[in-house]
Homo-oligomer: A and B are copies of this chain.
Amino acid sequence: MVRRRGTRESRREEILLAALDVFAERGYTGASIASIAERVGLSQQGVLHYFPSKDRLLAEVLRLRDERNLDVLVLPGEGGAITLDTVAALVEYNAQRRGIVQSFTVLSAESVIEDHPARDFFKERYGTSRAWMAEVIRAELGDKLPADLTPEQAAPLMFAVMDGLQLQWLLAPDEIDMPGLFRAFLSLLKGAPRPS
Q: How many copies make up the complex?
A: 2
User: A145-166, CB under 8 A of B: which get 1 and which 0?
Assistant: 1111100010011011111110
Chain A interface helix/strand/loop/mixed: helix
A184 in the interface (beta carbon within 8 A):
yes
Once the chains bind, are A110 and B27 in contact (CB under 8 Å)?
yes
Structural contact, A188 and B146, CB atoms closer than 8 A: yes
Listed in ascending order, the chain A residues whose CB lies under 8 Å from chain B are 25-27, 29-30, 102, 105-106, 108-114, 119, 122-123, 126-127, 130, 144-149, 153, 156-157, 159-165, 167-168, 170-172, 175-176, 180-181, 184-185, 187-196
Q: List 28 A-B contacts (CB under 8 A).
A: A26-B29, A26-B113, A27-B27, A27-B29, A29-B29, A30-B113, A102-B113, A105-B109, A105-B112, A109-B109, A122-B171, A123-B171, A126-B172, A146-B191, A147-B187, A147-B188, A147-B191, A149-B188, A153-B180, A156-B168, A157-B165, A157-B181, A159-B164, A160-B161, A160-B168, A161-B161, A163-B164, A194-B194
